[in-house]
Structure 1
Amino acid sequence: MYGFIVNQASGNGRGNRVWKKVEKIVKEENKPFLVRFTKGPRHATKIAKELSAHSLQAVVVIGGDGTINEVATALAYTQIPLGVIPAGSGNDFARCLGIPLQYRKALLRVFSHDQKKVDLLHLGQRYCLTVTGVGFDGKVAQIANGAKYKNWLNHFGLGGLSYVVSMLEVLRTYQPTKISLTVNGEKFTLSDVWLVAVANAPNYAGGISICPQAVNNDGLLNICIVHGLTKWGLLRLFLRAYNGTHVLHRNVRILTGKEVYIQSDKPVLVQSDGEIISESPIRMEIKEGALNVV
């Protein structure tokens, strides 16, 4: 039996549209299933825990990275694998795993039941699948998630552009800050830091390759620090981030490790898998092979 968790509102209603098509295929294939629909933030975690009481081949999420994150939190360190049918704005977790963005192909991948273990970033009370961003990233995520144009762009299949529009809006007023990082016990302090991205996967925000060397099964977190740039310099660097060549810039520093503690001279926002979770300071560590995925 398969358990489906559907965020009908994800992708400006795409989640609901995808589920109707998926339901038809599941019934045609005579696959026994249960389905639950999310009703708000963190509801997916509660549903996943409830479904875990059943004998399931997989818990399958139809939604975006935020909903997938909530379900992964419930399934971490369990024997029940996570399946994904992308229906969000960015779908970065699906991209990094090579999960098809087309619903039928994604569903057939789930049915093939080819399992793999992936790492998770642990942030104290929750996990991260892809990237946790501190500073400028956090503010951009906050603006993007509350913007009306995000729904409009999702309607035309251009959800990834909401990050770009929000970034330009935030760039007008955001001020970089002094950041201290402790990575595997070694401390680094940098001034005029725009953002710190801690990655378990190479891309976020709909395909920005912020840490191109990051993989989610190597037991390491990758850290990208952008500092010492003017606003125009940051904008030019951003254009290079889509193909990952920004890492060659002298104002970008890349670190790796198993744990990191980030402090700032004033609290800045922290986003994880596209959702605002807290302000700095924050501690993160890698958890190897914590999640089974099909």
Structure 2
Amino acid sequence: MCAGDREVAVAGLRVAVVVHAASGHGAAARVAPRVVERLSGVVSRVTVVEADTVERSRAGLLRARDAGLDVVVVVGGDGSVHQAVQFCAEHGVALAVVPSGTGNDLGRALGVPARAAEAVEAVVAALGAGARRRVDLGRVAGGAWFASVLCAGFDSAVNERVNRMRWPHGRRRYDLAIVAELAALSQRTLVVDTDGGRLELAATMVAVGNTGFYGGGIPVCPRADPADGVFDLTVVGQMSRWDLVRMLPTLRTGEHVGHPAVRTLRARRVSLGGDNEWVAYADGERLGPLPVVVECVPGALEVVG
């Protein structure tokens, strides 16, 4: 396909490029001009939306929608993608991702190239070919959509601690938070109600996966498929500190699902509760304390590619 053919193929398309400049320690800001330049040559209109706050991002996208909008291209990490998912699911706009953050879990699950330069070319090629597909989303009862994983328990407690810490910066903050939460580890009662039954146990953590990855590539729900209409659940039961320390490295490979304390389930609708004081996070964003009810909504999001 020559350049002229490509331009004709996507003529009429109106694209908003959402840029969270701080993503990836400034990587998104460095990548964004190339994304805008590349798309400007092959679509009818490109609108740049600065996503330095949730409110500003949403206002910019609403203005773009009112002027006519077909595709949102996110240049950023999972936090930026999470906000774009809310907009795209609510307004029937397709989503494309140019990974430029630290996690990039949805892009990974969708098969988007990890390198931003390659991801831009993949988006351009998909727009030219008209390649679209629909994927499932999770929806919290009365609230937000999520595309990747909702979790509660040990991992969300680590997130809570990290968010309270002001020092150190970077990965060391997470390492210290993990050590602190291991020291404070205590199993709590978790109640999991699904359309397939009820599970009550002393638990360490639970993950509800629309896709498999969270935390920057950890396959916590390794068999999750965002196009099968159901969630995959990973429930980690009672564990000592030492057992949890030994199991944590297997999360990186997906081998944790073979551990005797781990149960896996599949469900369309899930209620998480119990006497545990746990806080739920979805796509890395804080939702609030349990109980929480979530449902898998088949085909709720159109993606490019």
Fold-level similarity (TM above 0.5): yes
Equivalent pairs: percent with the same residue?
28
CA deviation vs aligned residue, 1:136-183 (integer Å, no higher than 9, x gap): 121122334555678645xxxxxxx86555433322223221011111
Verify the 8 A CA contact 2:21 2:76 in the aligned structure 1: yes
Corresponding residue number in structure 2 for 1:48: 61
**Contact 2:15-2:43 at 8 Å conserved across structures:** no
Aligned residue for 2:140? Answer: 123
Matches of 1:46 and 1:194 in 2, distance apart? 40
Q: Work out which of the residue numbers 182, 190, 194 in structure 2 matches 1:183.
A: 194
Aligned to 2:258: 248
RMSD: 2.2
Closer, same or farther in 2 for the Cα pair 1:40/1:13, shift >3 Å? same
Q: Which residue of 2 aligns with 1:86?
A: 99
Counterpart for residue 275 of structure 2: 265
Q: How far apart are 1:264 and its partner, in Å?
A: 2.1
The change in CA–CA distance for 1:146 and 1:98 in structure 2 (over 3 A counts) is farther
User: For 1:100-153, what per-residue CA distance to the aligned partner results, in whole angstroms no more than 9, with x for missing partners?
Assistant: 121222122222221110100001210111000011121122334555678645
Report if aligned partners of 1:180, 1:187 keep a CA contact under 8 Å in 2: yes
Residue 234 (structure 2) pairs with residue 224 (structure 1): yes
Whether 1:200 and 2:210 are equivalent positions in the alignment is yes
Letter in 2 for 1:22: V
Per-residue deviation at 1:78?
Answer: 4.0
**Is the 1:267–1:281 Cα contact (8 Å) retained in structure 2?**
no
Change over 3 Å in CA distance of 1:92–1:81 after alignment to 2 = same
Is the contact between residue 185 and residue 241 of structure 2 (CA under 8 Å) also seen in structure 1? no
40-49 or 195-204, larger mean C-alpha shift: 40-49
Structure 1 residues 46, 264: CA separation in 2 closer, same or farther (over 3 Å shift)?
farther
* CA 90–262 in structure 1, closer or farther in 2 if over 3 Å, else same: same
- 1:138 has 2:149 as partner: no
Classify 1:176/1:288 alpha carbon distance in 2 versus 1 (closer, same or farther; 3 Å): same
Shift of 1:241: 1.1
The 3 A distance-change label for structure 1 pair 162 and 118 is farther
Structure 1 residues 276 and 77: CA distance shift in structure 2, 3 A: closer
Structure 2 CA distance for aligned equivalents of residues 29 and 213 of structure 1? 36
Counterpart in 2 of 1:168? 179
Give how far 1:21 is off: 3.0
* TM-score of the pair, normalised by structure 1: 0.89
Is 2:248 the partner of 1:238? yes
In 2, Cα distance between equivalents of 1:71 and 1:168 = 33
- 1:277 match: 287
Question: Does the 8 A contact of 1:12 with 1:151 survive in 2?
Answer: no
CA distance in 2, matches of 1:20, 1:183: 46
Structure 2 residue 15 is the aligned partner of structure 1 residue 2: yes
Q: Which range moved further: 124-133 or 5-14?
A: 5-14
| Amino acid of the structure 2 residue aligned with 1:52 | R
Q: Bigger radius of gyration, 1 or 2?
A: 2
Amino acid at match of 1:134: A
Q: Which shows bigger deviation, 105-114 or 237-246?
A: 105-114
Deviates more, 1:279-288 or 1:9-18: 9-18
TM-score by length of 2: 0.86
8 Å CA contact 1:141, 1:275 repeated in 2: no
Amino acid at match of 2:293: R
Aligned in 2, Cα 1:185/1:214: closer, same or farther, shift over 3 Å? closer
